[in-house]
Amino acid sequence: MKESIGKEIGKTLRQLRHERGWSLDRLSEATGVSKPMLGQIERGASNPTITTLWKIAEGMGVGFSTFLQQKRPDMEFVSADQTEWLEGENGYAVRNIFSKHEQAPVEWYEFVLASGGSHYSSAHPFGVEEYIIVNEGRMEVQTKEASKQLMGPDDALRFRADHNHAYINAGPEKVKGVLMLFYTAYRQ
């Protein structure tokens, strides 16, 4: 992760924590992330992993992209060189394309999963749905109660993501695709 992203994540985290009137202790309890680590992230002294940032977002009840977004214009074009990839564990990388806002309860991501790679995600908030389109390669998506779905190029999948789930690439080539998180709680 580039240093500039880490500093912006820290500023956003501090702002959100202050808006809620939370101490670092309270934030640690809500997220499961240690108080020293949260302090380092807020100061920009440490860049969080994707997993840590998900824990923070979910514990605070905000979208993952909240930590990556800028002010929203009336029209937005995103070229490939405008966004930065966040490297995860086990060959998983993601870049935020469009962020969740009050008027648009969705987050769009492009992802890459290396050959032999995997990404295990804890449950998102209640009612969140994931939509995935695979552009290249093949992967397996595992959802609630050992439900599995093999996906290939141009395949699409929707599932409730308020349960643990995983993406697994056991194939010889990388997987590229698009992922959308839909926050159904906004539907009224």
- Number of Cβ atoms within 10 Å of the Cβ of 161: 22
pLDDT of residue 186: 45
What does 133-187 look like in DSSP terms, one character per residue?
EEEES-EEEEEGGGEEEEE-TT-EEEEE-SS-EEEE--SSS-EEEEEEEEEGGG-
115: left (phi over 0), alpha (psi -120 to 50) or beta: beta
pLDDT of residue 4: 73
pLDDT of residue 71: 54
Domains and CATH numbers, the chain: 3-67 (1.10.260.40), 80-186 (2.60.120.10)
Rounded to 10°, the helix 3-20/50-60 angle is 20
Mean pLDDT, contiguous 10-residue spans, the chain (188 residues): 74 91 95 96 91 94 81 66 84 80 78 95 89 96 86 93 92 95 66
pTM above 0.85, yes or no: no
pLDDT of residue 188: 32
